Structure 1
Amino acid sequence: MPATDDFTVTPYAVEGDIDYDRLLEQFGADALSPEQKARFPSPTHPLVRREVFYAERDVDPFLDAASEGTTHSIVTGRGPSGPMHIGHVFPFYFAKHLQDQTGALVYIPFSDDEKYFLKDNSLEEISDYTRENLLDLLAIGFDPERTRIVVDTADADVVYPLATAFAKEVTQSTVDATYGDPENIGLSFYPAVQATHLLLPQLVEGRHPTLVPIAVDQDPHVRVCRDIAAKQRYDVDKPGALLSKFLPSLEGPGKMSSSGDEASILLSDDRETVFEKIRTHAFSGGQTSIDEHRRRGGNPEIDVSYRLLYYFFEESDERLERLAREYRDGTLLSGELKDIAAEKIADFLDAHQERRESLDSLEAELEPYRLTADERRAARERAGFPANALIQQ
């Protein structure tokens, strides 16, 4: 588990000022090359061209399949332990972008069981968050013909048999070495469930390249799954991964959090709240006074408002470069930059909230995205469970 005196990055904890290059060395991943970035469908998403997605594992088979028009899939999930904020949602909008460009299958697992193992929330609280988070994911507008949403506890008829098969491939020593000493046996078992998530598209559709766009702290799940796939007991390829940096916390370095005392911008925040949070909490790279800022300029590299625009909320590279230049030379003030970022974020949230409010009931909206009986049966059979197993069809 990557933990140093300077920073800690695990699936369950992210702390400190993260050295992303050193993290690659510790995880054994590769930097995303200029050639690979150029192979993403045009127009290349800002998250790729600006190296927010900065590292990869076996991304080339996915890019080959996307360019050739053959079957390829994306898996990126959600752990429903609270309301969703803007840091949670950008991988899903990225997946939607690729689906629109390439026709990719998108699988979205909801790890409600893991969050119960990991958090102090009750099962009822986790269930409530799951319902609310699902509505936010449905508001993104994925193609229901090419998207499957799987909730671990609701889809246990397919998740548990597959996890049972994969659990036999993972030793406790591997879990301990990868994740540390688990707090309970649920977390010891959970890597098998994560492997189920990542291999499910292939178990439903047959062998094909899968890409997992995921925050870098979740890479251990990918590594364990790749080890399972490499044993070749199942007709699957090792999933590839696209690893992202963290959307910055409003307070500065580190990922944005929806728990604890740190402020974060929720998908449910209205315009007034967004402006208040940015103006009050967003860490500034400017000087302590207007006169000093006019004289010395600011540093956009550490300014959270600029970083939010850079990561996700400003499409135009030219405008970003202009904002950075004006901030450095002192003609753009910190308060003005905050308002620019707040306006962009509020516009994004207005559109998201409008789509969410137009949805019907969760049950009606979710139904087209659920695995069909035939897909459930195919996944179980490819994992080695016989067609006549005593499982509800």
Structure 2
Amino acid sequence: MHDFTVTPYAVEGDVDYDRLLERFGADRLTDAQIADFPQPAHRLLRREVFYAGRDVDRFTAAATRDETVSVVTGRGPSGPMHLGHVYPFYFAKYLQEQTGAHVYIPLSDDEKYFAKDLTFDEIHEYTKENLRDILAVGFDPEKTRIIVDTEDADVVYPLAAEFAKELTPAAMEATYGTPPNVGLGFYPAVQATHLLLPQLVHGPHPTLVPIAVDQDPHVRVCRDIAAKQRHDVTKPAALLSKFLPRLGGGGGKMSTSDEAPGILLSDDRETVREKVAKHAYSGGRSDLDEHREHGGDPEVDVAYQLLFYFFEDDDAELERLADEYRSGELLSGELKEYAADRIADFLEAHQARRPEGPIAEVVDPYRLTDAERERLRPGVFG
């Protein structure tokens, strides 16, 4: 049995997603649950990239009744964004468009200072560029709020302090292990604040947190806090995704620090083609004649997997590619070219939507309003 590590701060080895569900206590999504989402179901749902969760039914039932719902999904700004970072945001946009959900997007610049060997100046430069990429997704500013922890500390910190009182050192160690510093030991209370903010602004309602499975401990801790709180809040629901594959294959998730690099949201078409051609693990045969005779394996081919996860929406086209690859009609290089062009098409459209101008101005429509802040931060001088 292969060993692997999945925590909010490290993912190593070939991940066994079923074993993770046993470890985390989440449930695999059923066909009926997927059918309860707005139809046609998003490709990330129907292809089981989002494959498990908790209390998902409460969110979909409320959305079906046109009741208030919200979605929370965030970003840790420790570097430039790559493909693996952005697809949860596009999924959140789909939910906003289909259900009218409020979307809250926290950027945990403080957590990255505690966890990474970076200065705040470096982290804040990444934060500014990450914000441009998040806004390029196209969220509705009337129903979207962006929170940056150090910029919105007047709201975040008092709530985090209140929630931290519900967390014991033993519970934190059982969930995260021993933190390397006091900052990371406190951060789960900040993350709980992120996940409960929509309810603290708009009143109790179902909140869905679509995240990669390595971030699930934060949701579990928040759910425990919500159960104990004097605030009128409900436990946030979790929707857990698999990792966008590394270009080099072998399990794990896409990263900019791998030998096989991640594909950045800033990459141009030629760079995408070079990265996919050089680094994407192939499920094809090493010999052309052998490939023509025996075919390739799309299940391990990273170019195909990238198409499967996000970059080919047409199920019939995806199946055609798989069939031709298995038969040997489609070569590995041809599949890589097809995938690279689809990814580049996506990136060019994304890059064209990146807002220009001073970051404070482009983000301002998405920040908490004065009335929302007053609701969240009654204090000594309030």
TM class by shorter chain equals over 0.9
Give the Å deviation of 1:388: 4.9
Q: Once the two structures are aligned, what percentage of the paired residues are identical?
A: 69
Aligned 8 A contact 2:248 2:281 in 1: yes
Q: Give yes or no for the alignment of 1:307 onto 2:298.
A: no
Give the Å deviation of 1:261: 3.6
Aligned 8 A contact 2:70 2:103 in 1: yes
Give the Å deviation of 1:379: 2.1
Q: Give yes or no for the alignment of 1:142 onto 2:139.
A: yes
The amino acid that maps onto 1:330 is G
Aligned 8 A contact 1:114 1:186 in 2: yes
Q: Give yes or no for the alignment of 1:271 onto 2:262.
A: no
Aligned 8 A contact 2:209 2:236 in 1: yes
Aligned 8 A contact 2:21 2:28 in 1: yes
The amino acid that maps onto 1:390 is F
TM-score, length basis structure 2: 0.98
Aligned 8 A contact 1:258 1:264 in 2: yes
Q: Counterpart in 2 of 1:284?
A: 282
Aligned 8 A contact 1:82 1:259 in 2: no
Task: Give a deviation string over 1:252-299, Cα, whole Å, max 9, x none.
Answer: 021001235431100000000000000000000000111110011100
Q: Give yes or no for the alignment of 1:72 onto 2:65.
A: no
Task: Give a deviation string over 1:3-44, Cα, whole Å, max 9, x none.
Answer: x96100000000101110111001000000100000110121
Q: Counterpart in 2 of 1:384?
A: none
Q: Counterpart in 1 of 2:243?
A: 246
- Tell me, which stretches of 5 or more residues in structure 2 are unaligned? none
Aligned 8 A contact 1:54 1:243 in 2: yes
Q: Counterpart in 1 of 2:60?
A: 63
Task: Give a deviation string over 1:155-207, Cα, whole Å, max 9, x none.
Answer: 00000011010000001111111011100000000000000000000001110
Aligned 8 A contact 1:139 1:359 in 2: no
Q: Which among 318, 321, 342 is matched to residue 320 of structure 1?
A: 318
Secondary structure of 1:249 counterpart: coil
Q: Which among 369, 376, 380 is matched to residue 379 of structure 1?
A: 376
The amino acid that maps onto 1:389 is V
Q: Which among 42, 46, 51 is matched to residue 49 of structure 1?
A: 46
The whole-number CA distance in structure 2 between the counterparts of 1:311 and 1:284 is 16
The amino acid that maps onto 2:87 is F
The whole-number CA distance in structure 1 between the counterparts of 2:274 and 2:359 is 31
The whole-number CA distance in structure 2 between the counterparts of 1:19 and 1:336 is 30
The whole-number CA distance in structure 2 between the counterparts of 1:6 and 1:187 is 26
Aligned 8 A contact 1:106 1:146 in 2: yes
Aligned 8 A contact 2:260 2:279 in 1: no
Q: Which among 32, 36, 41 is matched to residue 35 of structure 1?
A: 32
Aligned 8 A contact 1:83 1:129 in 2: yes
Q: Which among 91, 98, 106 is matched to residue 101 of structure 1?
A: 98
Give the Å deviation of 1:360: 3.3
Secondary structure of 1:251 counterpart: coil
Secondary structure of 1:308 counterpart: helix
Aligned residues: 381
The whole-number CA distance in structure 2 between the counterparts of 1:232 and 1:266 is 40
Q: Give yes or no for the alignment of 1:84 onto 2:90.
A: no
The amino acid that maps onto 1:342 is A
- Tell me, which stretches of 5 or more residues in structure 1 are unaligned? 381-386
Secondary structure of 1:84 counterpart: coil
Aligned 8 A contact 1:74 1:212 in 2: yes
The amino acid that maps onto 1:321 is E
Q: Which among 190, 193, 213 is matched to residue 190 of structure 2?
A: 193
The amino acid that maps onto 2:280 is A
Q: Give yes or no for the alignment of 1:336 onto 2:334.
A: yes
Task: Give a deviation string over 1:296-335, Cα, whole Å, max 9, x none.
Answer: 1100000000000000000000011111111011000000
Task: Give a deviation string over 1:316-372, Cα, whole Å, max 9, x none.
Answer: 00011111111011000000000000000000000011111x533311110010001
